[in-house]
Chain A
């Protein structure tokens, strides 16, 4: 029951992101959607992924969003069209129909069931540090790309200011 409730709340909070005019409320709604997603992950026993989702997505990304929104508060937000939010209920009906069609097609697809068989008794540690070792190299490189990327972007801005 908790699973169904959290899934429904997750979808509702994600849809509310479109409805909120204020970007701060939209960011908070996204954070609540992340919290609901971590509850779903906990329910299926994906505890480590759930903790990551809760701390990184609901925490860090929300902080980044809120700080960017407060640093970039300008005239643009007021001029934003409300048309996409008004159209959303009709679009959602269309999306739901497409969604049912896609899942029905996937359930009857011959692709389902293909691939590697699941390893019995596999732990997260074995999967992460053993079978997905190359992912860790990718993650470290990505973190470095992020750090150096942000440093370069900020340096470009400060050099531009000096030039002006």
Chain B
């Protein structure tokens, strides 16, 4: 692997871990969504690293564009759910969203 690919992989995996930490450490629903977004940045970097490694950045661009669409739709729907949850429970703390328990 070239230096560039290793650097991209290192940063991508680090961002993914930071995103996972944000999701696990905080109780605020909006911070958890921010964690998902940070994870998504890491995944985009790892995808780019794969493309650079294979020497086909053009092909991986198509996948990155698809991934960006998925990320945006996810953010939009989850933010709408957060808004509704806040209106119903008057709180964004996930410990208060007890009705979601199975």
The answer to whether A and B interact is yes
Q: Residues on A close to B: CB < 8 A?
A: 3-4, 7, 10-11, 14-15, 17-18, 23, 26-27, 30, 33-34, 37, 40-41, 44-46, 48-49, 52-53, 56-57, 60-61, 64-65, 68-69, 71-72, 74-77, 79-81, 83-84, 87-88, 91-92, 95-96, 98-100, 102-103, 106-107, 112, 115, 118-119, 122-124, 126-128, 131-132, 135, 138-139, 142-143, 145-146, 149-150, 153-154, 156-157, 160
Partner of B68, one of A53, A100, A128: A53
Residues of A within 8 A of B15 (CB): 10-11, 14
Q: Let me know if A68 and B64 touch, CB within 8 A.
A: no
Interface of B, helix, strand, loop or mixed by DSSP: helix
Q: Let me know if B82 and A135 touch, CB within 8 A.
A: no
> What are 21 A-B contacts defined by CB distance under 8 Å?
A17-B38, A27-B34, A30-B38, A34-B41, A37-B41, A49-B68, A52-B64, A52-B65, A53-B44, A53-B68, A57-B37, A64-B76, A68-B82, A75-B91, A76-B93, A79-B93, A84-B25, A103-B6, A119-B59, A153-B81, A154-B80
Q: Let me know if B64 and A142 touch, CB within 8 A.
A: no
Interface centre among A107, A131, A142 (most CB of B within 10 A): A142
A146 to B80, CA, bound (A): 10
Partner of B45, one of A37, A57, A98, A122: A37
Query: Which residue of chain A lies nearest to B86 when distances are taken between CB atoms in the complex?
Result: A72
Distance in Å: Cβ of B81 to nearest Cβ of chain A: 6
Partner of B77, one of A119, A139, A150: A150
Residues of B within 8 A of A123 (CB): 58
Q: Residues on B close to A: CB < 8 A?
A: 1, 4, 6-11, 13-15, 17-19, 21-22, 25-28, 30-31, 33-34, 37-38, 41-42, 44-45, 48, 51-66, 68-73, 75-77, 79-84, 86-88, 90-93
Interface centre among A11, A96, A154 (most CB of B within 10 A): A11
Distance in Å: Cβ of A65 to nearest Cβ of chain B: 7
Residues of A within 8 A of B79 (CB): 64-65, 68
Q: Let me know if B38 and A46 touch, CB within 8 A.
A: no
Residues of A within 8 A of B30 (CB): 23, 65, 68-69, 72
Q: Let me know if B88 and A80 touch, CB within 8 A.
A: no
Instruction: Give me the 7 closest cross-chain CB pairs, A-B, nearest first.
Output: A84-B25, A118-B56, A146-B73, A49-B64, A128-B62, A72-B86, A95-B17
